């Protein structure tokens, strides 16, 4: 199952994964287009660090120094849409079986990555040049992925239920054909 939240506000990015340390209890990883990941100096082998994640969603270069280096026009604006949030969830019986067989977790992770590849194939930007609006398909995105095997504990002393799922945040930026960072366009961006 997939659920999607269309907007993660950049102003909330710093707090987003700090909630009850739930998201940070498991190390996340970066996933996405190789060229874009290389440009941003993110590695699929590297963990998602909270400060790097926050800078990226706020529109700053994640590995830039201080002061932060803006890579999109509205970097740091409170109203900036920092990203799009996806949660992929396996059925309960699959979640239970995943505790007995690591291959199930690997298959789930592969399914999540293939789904993200599909989403990425629809990424586009909107340009306005000389009064003419055009849409350019870039097919480049970067995601922070956090895998979990259980639900949040209902109460402090209670045991969480098995629930294999992945939280994925797609940063609101891509690179256009001119090599410029730009926010993604939500207009006409439909997965069919």
- At 81-129, the pLDDT tens digits run 888 889 999 998 988 898 899 999 999 999 999 999 999 999 999 888 8
For the whole prediction, is pTM greater than 0.95? no
46 falls within a domain: yes
Domain-embedded: residue 92 = yes
- Bridge partners of 9? 81
| Domain contains 28 | yes
Residue 30: its pLDDT value, please?
Answer: 94
User: Which residue did the predictor score with more confidence, 159 or 47?
Assistant: 47
Per the structure block, which two tokens stand in for 11? 């102003």
Asked, for residue 188, whether it belongs to a domain, the answer is no
Range of the domain at 70: 2-182
Based on the structure, what is the number of domains in the chain? 1
C-beta of residue 184 within 8 angstroms of C-beta of residue 124: yes
Is 187 part of any domain? Answer: no
Active site residues: 16-17
Q: Which tokens go with 167?
A: 């939280």
CB 53 within 8 A of CB 17: yes
192 pLDDT band (50/70/90 cuts)?
very low
So what's the pLDDT on residue 75? Answer: 86
Which residue did the predictor score with more confidence, 73 or 5? 73
Q: Note whether residue 21 is domain-resident.
A: yes
Of 24, 69, 68, the C-alpha closest to 47 is 24
pLDDT over 50 (residue 189): no
What backbone torsions phi and psi does residue 112 show, to the nearest 5 degrees? Answer: -60, -45
């Amino acid at each position: 199952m997939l659920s999607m939240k269309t907007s993660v506000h950049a102003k909330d990015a710093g707090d987003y994964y700090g909630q009850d340390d739930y998201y940070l209890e498991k190390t996340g990883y970066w996933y996405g287009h190789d060229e874009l990941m290389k440009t941003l100096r993110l590695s699929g082998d590297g963990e998602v660090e909270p400060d790097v994640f926050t800078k990226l969603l706020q529109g700053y270069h994640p590995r830039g120094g201080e002061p932060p280096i803006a890579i999109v026009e509205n970097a740091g604006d409170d109203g900036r849409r920092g990203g799009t949030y996806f949660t992929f969830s396996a059925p309960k019986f699959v979640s239970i079986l995943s505790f007995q067989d690591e291959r199930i977790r690997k298959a789930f992770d592969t399914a999540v990555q293939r789904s993200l590849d599909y989403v990425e194939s629809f990424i586009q930007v909107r340009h306005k040049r000389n009064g003419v609006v055009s849409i350019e398909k870039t097919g480049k995105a970067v995601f922070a992925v956090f895998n979990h095997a259980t639900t949040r504990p209902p109460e402090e002393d209670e045991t969480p239920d098995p629930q294999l799922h992945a939280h994925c945040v797609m940063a609101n930026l891509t690179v256009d054909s001119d090599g410029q960072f730009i926010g993604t366009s939500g207009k006409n961006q439909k997965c069919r």
